[in-house]
Structure 1
Amino acid sequence: MRLVERDEQLRAAAAYLVDAAAGHGRLVYVGGEAGVGKTSFVETVAAQAHAVVATGWCDGSATPPPLGPLTDMLPDLPEGLWPAGASRSEVFARLLSALRAPVDGAPYLLLVEDAHWADEATLDLVRHLARRIHACRALVMVTYRPEDTIDGDGLRVLLGDTASAAGTRRIDLSPLTAEGVAALAAEHGTTGREAAELHAVTGGNAFFVTEALATRDALPRTVRDAVLARVARLDEDGRRALEVVALAGSRVEAALVGRLLRGGLSALDVPLARGLLRRSGDDVLFRHELARLAVLDEVPPGRAVHLHRCLLEALTARDVDPARLAHHAEAAGDGPAVLEHARAAGAGASALGAHREAVRQYERAVQHAHDLPVGEQARLLWDLGYEYYLTNRIEESLDAVATARGLWDSLGDTVRVGDAWRCGSRLHWFAGRTDEARRCADTAVELLEGTASPEQAMALSNRAGLSMLATQLAPTREWGARTLAVLDSLPEGTAQDARVHALNNLGTIEVTAGDLAEGTRMLEQSLAGARAADLQEHAARAYCNLISTAVAQRRHSDAFRWLDEGLSYCMDRDLDAWTTYLLALRSRLHLDRGSWTEARADAVEVLRGGTSAVGSLEPLLVLAQLDVRSGTGSPDEAFARALEMAESMGEAQRVGPTAAARCEAAWIHGDDEGIAAVTARAWPHVEAVDCPWHRGQVATWLPPDVDAGLPLSAPYALEREGRWEEAAALWVSLGSPFEQALALARSGRVDLITEAVRLFARQGATAAAARARTSLQALGAPVPRTTRASRHPHGLTPREQQVHELVARGMSDAAIAEELVISRRTAEHHVAAVLGKLGVSRRQLTGADRG
């Protein structure tokens, strides 16, 4: 049946394909309710395209195999794209390379169907492509049902994450209008009155309309009735064929169906001829998933079990994906087969980064693990616990690891028990329970003492890590030295993960305490070792610590350099948890540098996408400080959440920034008692730590009669001594304009406070400027008037005006990044925003364009 009311969308898709052919690739999300015609639409686009077409389907009938759509596409993609044993990142890189340089010159058109059922690895692949598609000769179309996405699920997060990507577009397919339904109905000889009734009953859903028209009977009230009315006209062989196809999943090999049917492949002829089924290569599938579900509901339970057993036997002989086998084994009630195939499917999903699918498979296996030997039960629970951890289900991870630990304890396996305590320590830290994390860490160290094992080395390094996170120099060095001593006693090359972990801890604490050269050397050594051994999580951790220490110490150039490299590394490998953490650090960096629009954008993106308790603290504080400084919002909720997290962890790196932000807010509100209360509560947490920056940001707000004790970082030391003008000058050299103005505003000198008013106003810190004016009034001094900054005619922010001028001078993104001391990705974001506001699609800006 022909498409109606889709001309505009087809023209848009054709234009995107023209862009792709010119090397400006696009990724298009095609959204619409079930039955609206998404598949018909993309198939029409493919039929009209001069392109290499490859289609992949996401399977909603079972726990999907990782990267199932890519597997479907492989026959139409270059050979060798997914060699045996290749890692996920290598496969992604090979695919991207193919899309950038098509062999025969024609662009690629990749169709990913039903992304609302996509496995995690497939969503990561789409995210990977969305961020890079603009440089490819490919159009990727991803269909999905908006009604089947919910807040927080993988697809909803993906849609948000990629909404602003350069090559991302959307096409929404609406139900047919009454006129559209009438046009289709007229082809079947239906009267105008009947067509109006048809539209009213179906709501313009294209699938419902076509099914209703196909019955040639009185109008069915539901699509289920429409589908089953057509099924009832088949002979028994045809009905049995539909049952097998429905139970097999979203699509199934025709030859496999033929083996299970009395009439062989010929039993498929009538369902295919009548449009209930359709062919796709060597496979058969229902014309629509709604039809499959209608048939599936009618299969008697006993026959369903029998057919699942037949499918399991036939598929086992074909050596298919274990996820598929696990589904049929479970439906067939075959516990041992479920255990075998679900464990294999879980391991495969984990290797491909589809960790939510791995959880489902391991959970499925655990339900049938009661007959396994105790040690194997423990290993299965351990694997499940690790997947829970990777998917941020920390409490469930703790439960699984604790159960595994108990089983290993019953076997007297001290090494595994100790390692489980070490793992529990890490999990409790992620949950914000620092005291419990230390207790578990100490238990692990005690149990593993003298084992001279990789597990002992990691337990010692974990203890060093907790001391580093608590900003304690001497204990970190001590635990780190013990770790390296154990590692040196092991065969060369053993436990490389523990070695890079230990170097990371040691390097971070040295930088934090003030030895920048030695600390950076060890951190870079840790990073190099992690990258060489492809220890991606450890490499990401090294980037995070290189960046977090640079941000805390206002070493902005170093922070941007490592951010650019670290974000590229994590994004290329879809290490989204680490990418989110780096974005949180970038949000703080932008705030410190006075780039408030960028700071807010990063903070909102992090919190919108969801992150751990540890990762959410920084963006909460950034948003609260922006609201306080500008006087545009209430920070109370954000401060309350940040304070709860900071105090539950008790670490100076959390308590110090939280206290400093709250003191700043109290100063702006003229609340001296509030400042005293905050510092009295926070100072005991930071007083003795080995970080002059964390101490300084609280000490600067202490009453004059309190002894600050240990050394403070230079600008805070000057503030503490009342040398406000010198402190302000140092803040200028550190690229921190708000802190410059704040130092002047707290000086008590009329001339300095007057300058602070102007500086605050220039930054848009309206509330802070008002507080400074109040100080001048209290001193009996004249209050300077400030003028509202003139608005750019195209709405460009001050930073965007800078970028606009550099673009107009013909500078590249890389040159703009270097000129403004920002990352290249940030420069690209600014350039895209400028072009969008100016309403141009090309980088060439004429003199008339210049604002």
Structure 2
Amino acid sequence: MLETAGDGTAGVALVGGDAGIGKTRLTCELVAQARERGFNVMIGQCAELGDALPYLPLADALRGADPTLRAAIAERPVLEQLLPGGESAPSSGLTQQRLFGSLLGLLAAVQPVLFVIEDLHWADRSTRDLLVFLSRMLQSERVCLVGTYRTDDLHRRHPLRSVLAELKRLPAVTAVDVGPMPSAEISDYVATFGDMDRRELSEIVSRADGNPFYAEELYAALSEGETLPDGLASLLMSRVEVLSEPGQRVLRAAAVAGRRVEDVLLRDVSGLPLADFEEAVREIVSRGLLRVDGYGYAFRHALLQEAVYTDLLPGERTRLHATFATRLTAPAELAHHHLAGHDLSGALTASAEAGRQAERLGAPAEAHRHYDQALSLWDRVPEAESLAGEGRAELALRSAIMAADSGDNHRAVNQLRALPQTSQVHERLAYYLAELGQDDAAVEAGEAAVETAQTPAELARALATSARALAWTDRHAEVAPRARRALEVARSAGVPDAEKGALISLALLSELDGDFSTAAARYEQATSRTSGILAMDLRAEFARARLLYEQGDLVEAASATDSGIRLAEENGLNWSTYGTDLRFLRFLIHYVAGEWDDAERVAGTFGARVGTVPEAILSSFALFVEVGRGLPAVGPRIDWLRPFWSNDLVTYMARGLAAEDALWKGDPTAAWEHVRACLSQLIPADPANLRICAVGLWALAELGRTDEADDLRERARTAVAGPDGKRGPMGLEGRAWALRVEAEWVRVQGRHDVALWQKVVEAFDYGFVYETARVRWRLAEAQLATGDRESAQATWILARDAADNLKAVPLASALEEFARRARFLTASTDGSLTARELEVLRLVADGLTNREIAERLYIAQKTVSVHVSNILGKLDASTRTQAAATARSRGLLTDQPA
């Protein structure tokens, strides 16, 4: 896996096995090999406190980073705040997505990387989410991600179980099950420990049962002259019990701290004088029970820590937890020790603060859990509001918002409904209900938010959210007045997020009414200032860029999209919803503008190995260029996407493009099956029908069938009209595809309508290079069929040049075949003149100047000059007149008969 990662194919390994079976030893060998190969290595470890400490293994890995990694981390403030002394920046929303995106950017910046996360069975929810994110997103990066976990700790309802089941279905993930060592192997392994007789070796091998750690402990006990008690826990404690009393005291305190503990903290909790403490620690380390770890100590194995902790008396355990609580400052650890020490007041205070800290760090699931823990203690603690630092309702609202941010909108809605119904509660309730598609309930909550607003800021946000909720109901007419009022209140009260939300709603209404200039102006206003809410800012950037694209202003659309992508990248939000949408749009702009090398580069980040519907949608976009260029990646990508064809958007793109691929490969029957499958999943009024109907008519023409052509044309006309016959104006591309359907329908009937095909060319010629070229192919066919041979060849040359520039091999091949059948003159007798040079030569012979030729061919005058120079050189002519005479003598200006 290291080798493939080094070559540019990311991989994930999930290493499972019983405690002590050798997972850590295996990863240590991997780490050593990675360093030999020049990999940057990051190692993070979960701990039993992992459920309380968000992103503990990531923080651990970042803290242990080498100088190269440190420099890259420093460029990413969201990651730097996880380090000791790091300060949490004020949240502007999407904190978790920013953290995930920043880590992905870090891994890409310092690749090749080996990132190891140990003891995933103790991972917190946010770390599990991070593992899933990286496993899905890592594709072509030179990154190897390894996670280890104990199989014997995964009870039936363990939260890691479902994560493992999900991840093991991903193509990039390899499951590694580490089982017991065979007797022969463990015998050889034990023999390396030191001198022992055959009986002792046999007993250790027999008792170890294939477990290397157990074998090591058995040998250590035997070498110290101890008897070998039954069971691993008894064996471990037998080695602890030989320590001096101060040594046992220090080790028990260390066990309460967890797998690791800092030197100063352990010394304080142990209560020993400095000299006695150091002597006790030296004894423990010399016996291999603790090892020195940075500024403190770590248990050699988690099983040893568990054995010592379990052996503590209840009162002893409680007192030690309480002592730790008096010396710690980290809220999550404080909450853990206060609860274990039965200090409910301290636990409530620490839980509330731990929730706020987790919220700032972008760990909403942990924040929600801490807030809920504080709320569960509320009635059992006097003066709870003073201890928590805020009222119960405020804390419960935070908990609900964090539940939604962690993806549980249903829980958020239930919690909000149980709270005092303030305007802020109603507004959030309306927002989450709209996200859940419960439009009527969302409208009701939005209206309640407006009615109960106590301040201008509350009113502005309530009006903006209410307008957004109304937009998806039959009360469409109420959206504009409510959004205008929201805009007015937001501006006077200085609430930029509500102002931006209102502007977006008003711009969308203008679009639907066909007033695109007003829509553009409102989107421009929305993007001209930040709202403080990143999701809102990205939404506005995407909406403006989308409108510019749909109106055919590809240059401005590209600029607007790049601006949105920069905002996403700067905040680690490349893989957020709008970050992804912006990259989709940038790909489409490259594709339409004929910048296919750039489009292919962007598509390379989409990945072919998919495991979810969003990934399949992302991957489907790459097919536009891959099919257009006839690349070998088409087949494997379609195979990966096949399981997701039940999704409408995946089917529209993947099967629609699979139909085109089949047509290029001469299989119209397969193409027609793909088209029928697409149409079965699209509602008739969906504009997406237009492209699919056009491809379907192409397939019917190849099959020589007219039986279903009328149905396709009618379906396309329904899509143009809309569900109620009142659709607003379509964008340029939609209008072009609608004309294309009409022209393809005529072609299916066996007729050649030159004027109609010319209209289709003009419709696509707003800048859609590939479709203009494809339609010129059909126009050239119609022109030739109606006897206009000169126009046909001129049209063919334009199409052929575009296909060559795009490296659109299937189209170029089709055009070559058409030229061969048409017996077009495509080069001079010695093959030296290109098709474009022949076209320029004809116009030179007609006496046109370079400027006139440039205007006729829609190319730059400088380009004409280059062509003329090439022609003179190839024909060995010194003047334009001599070149024309040479061309006539060779028959280069005479059309050959068809």
- Structure 1 letter corresponding to 2:497: D
Separation in 1, partners of 2:255, 2:764: 68
Q: Please, which of 645, 650, 660 is the counterpart of residue 623 of structure 1?
A: 650
State the SS of the aligned residue for 1:481: helix
The answer for the alignment partner of 2:635 in structure 1 is none
Separation in 2, partners of 1:296, 1:56: 23
| Cα distance, 1:47–1:733 mapped onto 2, change above 3 Å | closer
Equivalent positions of 1:525-674 (< 5 A) are 525-530=525-530, 534-550=532-548, 552-553=550-551, 556-575=554-573, 576-578=575-577, 579-583=579-583, 602=606, 608=612, 620-625=647-652, 626-630=654-658, 656=686
8 Å CA contact 1:471–1:689 kept in 2: the answer is no
Q: Please, which of 723, 730, 736 is the counterpart of residue 692 of structure 1?
A: 730
Q: Please, which of 257, 266, 277 is the counterpart of residue 248 of structure 1?
A: 257
Normalising by structure 2, we get a TM-score of 0.60
Q: How many Å apart are 1:501 and its aligned residue?
A: 2.4
State the SS of the aligned residue for 1:458: helix
The answer for the alignment partner of 1:832 in structure 2 is none
Equivalent positions of 1:101-500 (< 5 A) are 128-133=102-107, 135-136=109-110, 141-144=115-118, 153-164=128-139, 166-169=141-144, 182-183=188-189, 185-189=191-195, 207-216=213-222, 224=233, 226-235=235-244, 237-261=246-270, 263=272, 265=277, 266-315=279-328, 320-370=329-379, 372=384, 376-404=391-419, 407=420, 409=421, 417-448=422-453, 451=454, 453-466=456-469, 476-490=479-493, 494-500=494-500
Q: How many Å apart are 1:674 and its aligned residue?
A: 8.7
- Structure 2 letter corresponding to 1:364: Q
Moved more, 233-242 or 423-432: 233-242
| Cα distance, 1:642–1:683 mapped onto 2, change above 3 Å | same
| Cα distance, 1:90–1:732 mapped onto 2, change above 3 Å | same
Is there any run of 5+ residues in structure 2 with no aligned partner, and where? 84-93, 149-175, 621-643, 660-669, 701-707, 746-755, 787-791, 815-820, 823-898
8 Å CA contact 1:160–1:609 kept in 2: the answer is no
8 Å CA contact 1:261–1:267 kept in 2: the answer is no
The answer for the alignment partner of 1:795 in structure 2 is none
Separation in 1, partners of 2:487, 2:657: 47
Q: How many Å apart are 1:497 and its aligned residue?
A: 1.9
The answer for the alignment partner of 2:817 in structure 1 is none
Q: How many Å apart are 1:565 and its aligned residue?
A: 3.7
| Cα distance, 1:321–1:521 mapped onto 2, change above 3 Å | farther
Q: Which has the larger radius of gyration?
A: 2
- Structure 1 letter corresponding to 2:576: A
State the SS of the aligned residue for 2:529: helix
Q: How many Å apart are 1:181 and its aligned residue?
A: 6.7
The answer for the alignment partner of 1:735 in structure 2 is 768
The answer to whether structure 1 residue 522 and structure 2 residue 522 are counterparts is yes
The answer for the alignment partner of 1:36 in structure 2 is 23
Q: How many Å apart are 1:242 and its aligned residue?
A: 3.1
8 Å CA contact 2:338–2:346 kept in 1: the answer is yes
- Structure 2 letter corresponding to 1:359: H
Q: How many Å apart are 1:485 and its aligned residue?
A: 1.9
Separation in 1, partners of 2:658, 2:10: 38
The answer for the alignment partner of 2:88 in structure 1 is none
Write the deviation string for residues 416-444 of structure 1: whole angstroms up to 9, x where unpaired.
x2232222222122223333323322332
Separation in 1, partners of 2:38, 2:737: 63
The answer for the alignment partner of 1:800 in structure 2 is none
Separation in 2, partners of 1:468, 1:42: 55
- Structure 1 letter corresponding to 2:499: R
Equivalent positions of 1:719-734 (< 5 A) are 723=756, 725-731=758-764, 733-734=766-767
Q: How many Å apart are 1:388 and its aligned residue?
A: 1.7
Write the deviation string for residues 102-156 of structure 1: whole angstroms up to 9, x where unpaired.
xxxxxxxxxxxxxxxxxx9899657524424555599674334678899994243
User: Percent identity over the alignment?
Assistant: 21
Moved more, 599-608 or 56-65: 599-608
CA RMSD of aligned residues (A): 6.0
Separation in 2, partners of 1:522, 1:52: 47
Separation in 2, partners of 1:76, 1:146: 20
Is there any run of 5+ residues in structure 1 with no aligned partner, and where? 1-7, 97-119, 410-416, 698-712, 771-783, 786-851
| Cα distance, 1:29–1:672 mapped onto 2, change above 3 Å | same
Separation in 2, partners of 1:502, 1:447: 19
Separation in 2, partners of 1:572, 1:241: 47
Q: How many Å apart are 1:350 and its aligned residue?
A: 1.3
Write the deviation string for residues 557-593 of structure 1: whole angstroms up to 9, x where unpaired.
5554444443342243233433344455567768878
State the SS of the aligned residue for 1:656: coil
Write the deviation string for residues 662-681 of structure 1: whole angstroms up to 9, x where unpaired.
76798769597699789879
8 Å CA contact 1:244–1:257 kept in 2: the answer is yes
Q: Please, which of 51, 67, 73 is the counterpart of residue 63 of structure 1?
A: 51
Normalising by structure 1, we get a TM-score of 0.63
| Cα distance, 1:94–1:326 mapped onto 2, change above 3 Å | closer
- Structure 1 letter corresponding to 2:539: R
Separation in 1, partners of 2:426, 2:301: 50
State the SS of the aligned residue for 1:37: helix
Separation in 1, partners of 2:228, 2:679: 59
The answer to whether structure 1 residue 90 and structure 2 residue 120 are counterparts is no
Moved more, 155-164 or 211-220: 211-220
8 Å CA contact 2:507–2:522 kept in 1: the answer is yes
8 Å CA contact 2:112–2:142 kept in 1: the answer is no
Separation in 2, partners of 1:637, 1:185: 69
| Cα distance, 1:517–1:289 mapped onto 2, change above 3 Å | farther
8 Å CA contact 2:49–2:122 kept in 1: the answer is no
Q: How many Å apart are 1:325 and its aligned residue?
A: 0.8
| Cα distance, 1:598–1:615 mapped onto 2, change above 3 Å | closer
State the SS of the aligned residue for 2:337: helix
Moved more, 452-461 or 234-243: 234-243
Separation in 2, partners of 1:275, 1:422: 59
8 Å CA contact 2:335–2:350 kept in 1: the answer is yes
Q: How many Å apart are 1:225 and its aligned residue?
A: 5.2
Q: How many Å apart are 1:166 and its aligned residue?
A: 3.8
Write the deviation string for residues 667-704 of structure 1: whole angstroms up to 9, x where unpaired.
7695976997898799764644545249x95xxxxxxx
Write the deviation string for residues 675-734 of structure 1: whole angstroms up to 9, x where unpaired.
97898799764644545249x95xxxxxxxxxxxxxxx4653685798455225523544
Write the deviation string for residues 378-424 of structure 1: whole angstroms up to 9, x where unpaired.
211211111122222111111122222xx2x4xxxxxxx22322222
